[in-house]
Amino acid sequence: MHGMINCALQGFLISTYGSGIWTEVRDQAGLPADGFEAMLRYDDAQTIHCVEAACQVLHKHPNAFLEDVGTWLVTNQRMEPLRRLLRFAGPTFLDFLHSLEELGDRGQLAMPELDLPDLTLHRLDPSSYRLSVRWGLLGAAPVFLGCLRAMADDYGALAFLHLDGIEDGAEWVHIQLLDSAFAEGRSFALGGAAS
């Protein structure tokens, strides 16, 4: 597992619940004392142990926990660079949805060893979509659920999303897009990166 993903889990736990909770999760899961390092690789088992321990310490269902992680990735101030990178995908939420299949390639442009899930968007009708999420580990779909809900808000779109089961070896997310321009959304200036 890429250290970036483990670091996201650690960052979420510390910024949301404090370093005491992180220490508890770290010790229970047997994670490195200094925490994860974004530029290193880790055994997948450490990621799984980290999520399991977090759910146990926080008394949360894994889906709920992972959805919160997804929301945090987009909405937390610390993660603003990531939100910006996601917004490069297109000017509207619909453009963003259609660009999700490129997400793996986009991720690898940023970090050549980053292994993101394979995403495929299936159109059911002009406002309904199903997204298939395929990854080495289960649990990517709830992360994307949280992430996509937050991105819909970010674009000012009105959308309903829910987990839609596991079939054909993939996790599925159902997306109902009601209004692409429902609200103002958060600003995105193409040249607006803090430099």
When the beta carbons of 34 and 43 are compared against other proteins, the nearer one is 34
Residue 181 exposure: Cα atoms within 13 Å on the Cβ side: 2
- To other proteins, the closest distance from the beta carbon of 172 in angstroms equals 28
List residues near other proteins by CB under 8 A.
4, 37-39, 81, 84-85, 88, 90-91, 106, 109-111, 189-193, 195
Please, what is the minimum distance in Å from the beta carbon of residue 64 to other proteins? 29
Distance between CA 124 and CA 130 in Å, rounded? 7
Which tokens hold the place of 10?
């650690």
Closer to other proteins at the Cβ: 126 or 194? 194
- How far is the C-alpha of 175 from the C-alpha of 127, rounded, in Å? 8
Nearer to other proteins, 77 or 195 (CB): 195
Q: Rounded to whole angstroms, how far apart are CA atoms 162 and 128?
A: 12
Cβ 11 to other proteins, closest distance in Å? 12
Nearer to other proteins, 90 or 185 (CB): 90
Nearest CA to 144 out of 157, 130, 133, 159 is that of 133
Least distance (Å) from other proteins to the CB of residue 91?
Answer: 4
Encoded tokens for 142: 């709830």
